Amino acid sequence: MEPMLLDAREKAVEGGQACFGRFSAPFGSLNLLECEGVPGPLAFRRFRLKEWEHLAVIHPDFYLSVAVVDAGFLITSWTHVCDRRTGKAFEHIRKLLPGSIRLPLNLWDDKAALKAAGYRIELHNDLARGRHTFRVSVEGHKDLPAVEAELILDESSQKTHGLSVVLPLAENRPMYTHKSACPVGGTVTVGGQRFELLPERDVALLDFHKAYYPHRTFWNWATFAALRPDVGLLGLNLTHNVVADDNVLNENCLWVGNTLQPLAAARFDIPEDPMQSWRVHTLDGRVELVLKPQGIRKERIWLGLAASSYDQPYGLFSGRIIDSKGRSIPVENAFGLAERHTVRW
Residue-wise DSSP of 68-85: EEE-SS-EEEEEEEEETT
pLDDT beyond 60 at 156: yes
pLDDT tens readout for residues 287-319:
999 999 999 999 888 887 788 899 999 999 999
Q: How many CA atoms are closer than 13 Å to the CA of 286, on its beta-carbon side?
A: 21
Question: What is the structure's pLDDT at 267?
Answer: 98
Percent helix, strand, coil in the chain, to 5, is: 5, 60, 35
The CA distance from 161 to 81, in Å, is 27
Using CB atoms within 10 Å of the CB of residue 284, give its burial: 0 to 12 exposed, 13 to 18 middle, 19+ buried: middle
Question: What is the structure's pLDDT at 302?
Answer: 83
Question: What is the structure's pLDDT at 185?
Answer: 98
pLDDT tens readout for residues 30-74:
999 999 999 889 999 999 999 999 999 999 999 999 999 999 989
Question: What is the structure's pLDDT at 4?
Answer: 80
Instruction: Give this prediction's pTM.
Output: 0.96
The CA distance from 102 to 298, in Å, is 25
Domain spans, the chain:
13-344
pLDDT tens readout for residues 77-108:
999 999 999 999 999 999 999 999 999 999 99
Question: What is the structure's pLDDT at 179?
Answer: 98
Please name the residue ranges forming H helices in the chain: 42-48
Could you tell me the pLDDT band of residue 2, with boundaries at 50, 70 and 90? low
Which residues are CB-neighbours of 39 under 8 A, at least 6 positions away?
none
Long-range contacts of 122-128 (CB under 8 A, 24+ apart): 123/53, 123/55, 123/68, 125/53, 125/208, 127/26, 127/155, 127/162
pLDDT beyond 60 at 1: no
- Count of C-beta atoms within a 10 Å radius of residue 159: 21
The answer to whether the beta carbons of residues 161 and 258 sit under 8 Å apart is: yes
How does the average pLDDT of the chain come out, rounded?
96
pLDDT tens readout for residues 238-262:
999 999 999 999 999 999 999 999 9
Residue 52: which of 180, 176, 214, 181 has the closest Cα? Answer: 176
Question: What is the structure's pLDDT at 251?
Answer: 98
